[in-house]
Amino acid sequence: MEKKKLVSLEEFIKESHILLSALAVFATLTALLSKLSISWLSTFLSFLSIGGLILIWLEIRSKIPKENISIRLLLFRYVLLWGLGGIGAYWLLVFRDIWKVSLFIPLFFLFVYMFFTPLNLLGQILTQVIKWLDNLKKIQNNKIFKKIRAFIDAKGFKIFLKIFKITYFIFAVCVSFSYAVLLSPPINALLDLIQINFP
């Protein structure tokens, strides 16, 4: 049995050189924007630039394979992870004036993601199970399976699923927004405390 070739750090850099170049551009841009003479404009543009930097950082990290990678690439993945944590903390602590009024926005998206991730996972599992059962000839001829399959394929069931998805979406959005607004003040107070004690 042939061993799979490990993806090296050099190969990953060659494949992701465009993203890495974009990361460098945003890092340079952030440094330049922080020196603008107009204070409020400098703060706002630096805030946006770091946001773009974090998005590119996340994209680069997502491109690293989870298996069959060299030790250097594995270390690089952890460097990106810790670096992302550091720059994320900097983003939250330095731009306090902006986050005091907008922290609920990323919290809202975080909660929505938490609501829909298990639902999507469940849907994928059920889809795979149905496909697997469809491929089993013995089960296909089973009367109970035929009834279940007919129920799943029925128009009424599909309408029910659509209504359920819409209802769940509205519920998830409302609850996520409520929690985001509710939790923003205490999180901001905690971040203010950290900023004061660790300037």
User: How far from chain centre, in Å, is Cα 60?
Assistant: 13
At 1 the pLDDT is 45
Residue 192: CB partners within 8 Å, gap ≥ 6? 96
Has this prediction a pTM greater than 0.85? no
| Positive or negative torsion for Cα 106, 112, 115, 117 | negative
pLDDT digit string (tens) for 118-158?
777 777 777 776 666 666 555 556 666 666 666 666 666 67
Residue 36 burial (CB < 10 Å; 0-12/13-18/19+)?
Answer: middle
What's the rounded Cα separation, in Å, for the pair 198 and 185?
20
What's the rounded Cα separation, in Å, for the pair 199 and 192?
10
pLDDT digit string (tens) for 46-97?
999 999 999 998 899 888 888 888 888 889 988 988 988 899 889 889 898 8
Q: Between 131 and 16, whose confidence is greater?
A: 16
What's the rounded Cα separation, in Å, for the pair 98 and 71?
40
